[in-house]
Amino acid sequence: MTLIAHAIAPVPRSSLKGGEGLRGRPLSWSGAGDIGLWSTQWDPADKLDRNDALEHHRLLERICAVQPCLPVRFGTAFASDDAARASLAGRVDELRAALDRVAGKSELAVTLLWAKNSGASAPRPPDPATGPGRRFMEERLSRHASREARKARAAELVECLVAELSVERALVWHEICASEAVAVSLAVLIPSERAAERKAVLERLAGRFNDVVGVVNGPWPPYSFATAESSVDSAPRGRT
């Protein structure tokens, strides 16, 4: 029997004890001091699938509804309860600080996609009257200028979003120009009781920009704020 990890959390509330994990199997707690790891008892012969990934998300929502938690990447597995505890050893203070940061908060995620008619997304075509060598250099310079213009505009969009939300920088994660289509990927931690209000603000703000199309998702558990703090040493992961 192995363990499929779900979340790092403080000592559990009684409402979670004895609960069900994936596929109705027992939800397990592996404690290390005043924090620990929620996981599902699992038969290693069973393969994880898409439905399990969806249930993992629902479990995280359930856990976060009653206590702070740091989501663990779906499919992270441990060979035993001792192995799960060992993954937290030596990092209790760091993890406790991360849990304090996300306590009472939910994540909203914003994706800004370049609009098809966006001037920032199209490099200038070369002059057809020039020779092939000159055209090559012009194309290369134009692509570089276009990339730099995109980055500058994406950074400006991030500043607009952060200023509107009026939140601490430590509560915002963002990445710009991660792909040709995406200008900004941004996640922000918001007090859970204000998440619906703040989501509406973000949707209105994203709709003001004429060079990008905005998509706002959430509220959901703090996935983007549990990467470094809640990473765990584990056995080889199952993948869907």
Both 202 and 175 in one domain: the answer is yes
Predicted local confidence at residue 1, as pLDDT: 84
DSSP string, 87-148: HHTT-HHHHHHHHHHHTTEEEEEEEEEEPTT-GGG-PPPPPTTS-HHHHHHHHHHHHHHHHH
Residue type, 195: A
Both 110 and 205 in one domain: the answer is yes
Give the burial string for 152-176 (b: 16+ CB within 10 Å, else e): ebbeebbeebbeebebeeebbbbeb
Predicted local confidence at residue 115, as pLDDT: 93
Contact criterion met (CB below 8 Å) for 186 and 173: yes
User: pTM for the full model?
Assistant: 0.79
Both 118 and 90 in one domain: the answer is no
172 part of a folded domain: yes
Determine the structural domain holding residue 50 and report its residue range.
2-103
What CATH number did the domain enclosing 148 receive? 3.30.70
Predicted local confidence at residue 139, as pLDDT: 66
Predicted local confidence at residue 234, as pLDDT: 37
229 part of a folded domain: no
Specify the number of domains making up the chain: 2
Both 109 and 93 in one domain: the answer is no
Run means of pLDDT, 10 residues per run, the chain, 240 residues: 95 75 94 93 95 96 93 96 93 92 95 80 57 62 78 94 87 93 96 94 92 95 73 36
236 part of a folded domain: no
Predicted local confidence at residue 196, as pLDDT: 94
Predicted local confidence at residue 236, as pLDDT: 34
Residue type, 55: E
Contact criterion met (CB below 8 Å) for 108 and 187: yes
Both 218 and 111 in one domain: the answer is yes
Rounded distance, CA 41 to CA 32, Å?
18
